[in-house]
Structure 1
Amino acid sequence: MKRLRRIAKLVLLVIGWLLLTANALVFNNTTGWGLFLFYSGFLLVTLLSAAPSLKRVQLKTASVHYGQAGQVFTLPVEIKARRFWLPFFQVSLREDYAQGQQFFFYHGQKLQLHFPLVLNQRGRFEKPPLVLSGGDLFGMILKEQTRRLPSTLYVLPKEDSQGKKIGRKVQQQLTNQLFGEVLPQIKGYREYRFGDSRRQVDWKISARQRSLTIREQEVGQEIRPILLFWGQEGPDFEVALSRYYSMQKELPLGTPQYLLGQTVQLVETERLFAEFTGFTEVPTTPTWKNQDLLVFYPKMDAQLQGKVTEWRKQNRVTLYPLIEDKPSTSSSAHHGKQVMP
């Protein structure tokens, strides 16, 4: 539609020039030739003023930007040009120019522009488009060009107040109970000797061997909890991810954490939260041993219960539901209670 309007304007300019030319030739008087010369000069100035190419405009911005879903992000862009002049110049993020910034008699000077963006969706967005347009002052001739900024925008999950509350609660629990605790590790097994504590007896192995067998333990290294986000796809996936993201920001920096999705990823940079995708088939997880695993999940199901049973054999497991407001009391293994191996 815009292109058709521009073509229509040019056609009208040409028709007007042809009519004035015919009038001057037919009547051959001073008035006719005066109008012809004035209109021809106006047309020539209009064409020359819109002649500079938009390709001369240089765009510069940071290679990586971070924003958060549900908030307004300001995209900074630097523009400049050499041997460039336009009576009317506009830079916009949208083709309808709703977010455009206009300049009159722009001659290529360096400008710092800022474009507000409402980030509605989490994800990674490559090379956002920028629309350059320019022409004469009267809008008779207008040209435009769409350019791609050499930048990547990472949109992180929404801020979640419930997630912050969970984070503060977890932080308090870590401070009081878990954080920095030294756990015993099993060194081996041997037969029971007089004077050994019965607490060291492994009753399952003793029953199989039909003799008392005890566990020999050694003091392990001081360990820190490992956070796991159970990223199963479902209607509550984005809410759970936003809640977990807000929760983990309340914990000490450097707390090890893994996102269990299509791939199992150790969180080393925030951009993983923008790119993270959930799983439909349970992924293969690392083999953790003698660790404190804090598992955050949307809802309990058979797949998660199976993984918890597997982890419980060699680790202490604590489960935190991210969606349920009031934890169920039907299972003592859930809802922030410890499960010992």
Structure 2
Amino acid sequence: MIHRTDLAALTPAQRANVIYAQAQSELSTRLWRAAIGENDRDGEKTRSPLGGGSDMAMDSLLELLGTQAPKSAKGKCKCQCACSCHDEEPDEVAALPKGPMTAERARAVAERPVALASAPTAGAMAGAVSLGTNARYADTLAAAEARSGIPSAAIAAIVNAEAGKGQDGSWNPLSRNPRSSAAGLGQFLSGTWQTLAEQGGTWLNEVAKARGWLKENGKVDPSRRSELLALRYDPQASILTIADMARNNLQHFESAGLNVRADSETLAKAAYLGHHLGLGDAKKFLAGNIDSARARQLLTAQIGGSAAEQRIASAGDATRAHRQWLLDFIDRHVQPDKFAS
């Protein structure tokens, strides 16, 4: 929050810009909370994004406030995603039932084919992120955006939220969570990394096949597993795999009817939610269905047993404690605008 005395020292035009930027940031946070059915005032769950729609579509609200180009406009949307989601509707989408997200429309959305995001042009990638002490990762982030269609700033925000950092804010490729198997810039669990190596179409799968780490059935050869897991500490491998995982998760969220491309912040936070929890738990989280035992396990892995028990006692149950902690963490740490040039 900007203090009144700080605003007083600015020119009228500067004050207007600061106030508008702050209002836009607060709007983005509220849109993200609304997208996942969360009341930003008291943490109460409102309408599930996997079920019904809201009284006012998020796209319409953004357009009304001038933060998103009208749907009829050509070119990239304000979220700067490299997808075709804001172009004119293709025939198969236009044919879907119109109106609120009814059960019929939800089934139609879930069953339609999901196209891979198209790669941006070199001009769109140039100067896309401002990385400061992490500038050495710019080329890898650009390659990750080109591969996945996920904006570089969103990928950088995920890395920044996950990786350990030096005193100057530089990301530590050797980051390791002492309470789990999470490692590298992306803090990938051993099991998640192995699953992605076995998943066709990922960068990691291509590398695993080329290096002979997979058996004929496509599963990781146990004798080569340690080599595969060591690759988590390679910055390029970690960043490109973050992008692949984000693309996959966002496509699943969209198929379920969740508007993950409302703006750049919503896109980055939705991608981070899928990265942090994994797709299965992320879907349960969005639906409010993570049970108490699993919530306690997840919270303990992140903040330790003692801190987790204190939060659970304060919130009244483990599911609520975990939800409150994770939403607060995402709001504070996943900030793509910080990396936008």
Pick the TM interval, shorter chain. under 0.3
Query: What is the TM-score of this pair, normalised by structure 2?
Result: 0.20
Query: What is the TM-score of this pair, normalised by structure 1?
Result: 0.20
Which structure has the larger Rg over C-alpha atoms?
Answer: 1
Relative contact order: is structure 1 or structure 2 higher (C-alpha 8 Å, sep ≥ 6)? 2
The structure where helix makes up a greater share of residues is 2
